[in-house]
């Protein structure tokens, strides 16, 4: 699978953010003209202190911008996270849309684990989706905080996910923990991880990008060896890599067979 992350700078105007994404997309496709899936970070538009200005109607301007990009450039795109209102929900939701190369919406994944202030303003997602790639492979989208809990990636893998995409917004002082989470999720599930991080500043917080594509060095079974390709740090840009989905599948079958059902493990408390 030929994958890429685009990490655009966040400007104070939405239109400038749109132009930045398109410029980076053009540069990416000029260098790598055959890309299967491109992932955007969790946040790539400006943030307003009045939260209501950040919410869009369902399938609003941000949605249509990414939809048009996918069609115009003939490439599959994961939209990052869009904050949108839905008529059937009391609160807005954070969601990532998946568009095919014709600009058609294939599906969307809502953020399941809400972080800090998000719990007050958003509705959590209730379903984990698997999207088909090619004839025999599948992938899941885990938005940022969804990667911090081992259950969600494991659920995706146990149900057939061959790769995990993760649009994120990790600020500079959280990068060390984030890298640990990504490596751990890849290793414990023997699954490639494509994590696209935000770049820019808002609310006095600094986001440094440094997106990561994590896969496995072929032939290294025990111990398995990670291959990590990183995006620009402290600048906008992109990162691209070709990841093998078949070798990790072999590793995954071995790893999951070694798993012991936690319900069969007795827990005993010793009070001495």
Structure confidence at residue 51 (pLDDT): 80
- Rounded to whole angstroms, the Cα distance separating 235 from 161 reads 31
Q: Where residue 52 sits, what CATH number does that domain have?
A: 3.60.110.10
- Rounded to whole angstroms, the Cα distance separating 25 from 182 reads 25
What are 205's strand-pairing partners?
A: 202
Q: Does residue 11 sit in helix, strand or coil?
A: coil
Question: Is residue 167 one of the residues assigned to a domain?
Answer: yes
Structure confidence at residue 117 (pLDDT): 87
Report strand pairing: 205-208 vs 163-168.
unpaired
Question: Is residue 64 one of the residues assigned to a domain?
Answer: yes
Q: What global pTM score does this model have?
A: 0.96
Question: Is residue 10 one of the residues assigned to a domain?
Answer: yes
Mean per-residue pLDDT pooled into runs of 10, the chain (272 residues): 98 96 98 96 92 91 98 98 95 98 98 95 97 95 97 97 98 97 97 97 90 95 95 97 96 93 93 88
Q: Euclidean distance between the first and final Cα of the chain, in Å?
A: 55
Q: What is the DSSP string of 221-249?
A: ETTEEEEEEE--BSS-EEEEEE--SHHHH
Burial of 196 (0-12, 13-18, 19+ CB in 10 A): buried
Structure confidence at residue 267 (pLDDT): 95
Domain hosting 174: range is: 2-264
Does the CA dihedral 99-103-106-108 come out positive or negative?
positive
Question: Is residue 132 one of the residues assigned to a domain?
Answer: yes
Structure confidence at residue 204 (pLDDT): 83
Structure confidence at residue 220 (pLDDT): 84
Question: Is residue 272 one of the residues assigned to a domain?
Answer: no
Q: What is the DSSP string of 122-165?
A: -BPP-----EEETTTEEEEE--GGGGGSTHHHHHHHHTT-SEEE
Question: Is residue 19 one of the residues assigned to a domain?
Answer: yes
Question: Is residue 72 one of the residues assigned to a domain?
Answer: yes
Q: Which of 184, 162, 160, 164 is nearest to 248 (CA)?
A: 162
Question: Is residue 99 one of the residues assigned to a domain?
Answer: yes
Domain count, the chain: 1
Q: What is the dihedral of CA 173, 175, 178, 184, to 10 degrees?
A: -130
């Amino acid at each position: 699978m030929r994958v890429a992350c685009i990490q655009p700078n966040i400007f104070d105007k939405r239109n400038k953010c749109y132009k930045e994404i398109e410029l980076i997309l053009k540069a990416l496709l000029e260098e790598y003209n055959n890309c299967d899936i491109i992932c955007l970070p969790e946040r790539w538009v400006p943030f307003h202190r009045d939260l209501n200005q950040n919410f869009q109607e369902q399938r609003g301007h941000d949605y249509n911008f990414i939809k048009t990009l996918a069609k115009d450039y003939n490439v599959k795109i994961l939209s990052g996270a869009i904050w949108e209102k839905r008529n059937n929900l009391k609160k807005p939701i954070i969601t990532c849309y998946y568009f095919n190369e014709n600009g058609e919406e294939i599906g969307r994944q809502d953020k399941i684990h809400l972080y800090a202030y998000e719990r007050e303003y958003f509705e959590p997602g209730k379903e984990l989706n698997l999207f088909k790639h090619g004839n025999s492979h599948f992938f899941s989208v885990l938005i940022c905080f969804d990667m911090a809990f081992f259950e969600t990636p494991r659920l995706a893998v146990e149900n057939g996910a061959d790769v995990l995409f993760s649009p994120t917004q990790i600020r500079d002082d959280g990068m060390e923990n984030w890298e640990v989470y990504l490596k751990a999720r890849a290793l414990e599930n023997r699954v490639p991880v494509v994590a696209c991080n935000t770049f820019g500043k808002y609310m006095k917080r600094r986001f440094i990008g440094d997106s990561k594509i994590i896969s496995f060095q072929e032939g290294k079974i025990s111990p398995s060896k990670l291959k990590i390709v990183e995006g620009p740090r402290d600048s906008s840009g992109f990162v691209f890599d070709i990841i093998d989905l078949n070798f990790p599948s072999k590793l995954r079958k071995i790893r999951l067979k070694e798993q012991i059902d936690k319900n069969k493990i007795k827990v005993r408390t010793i009070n001495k």
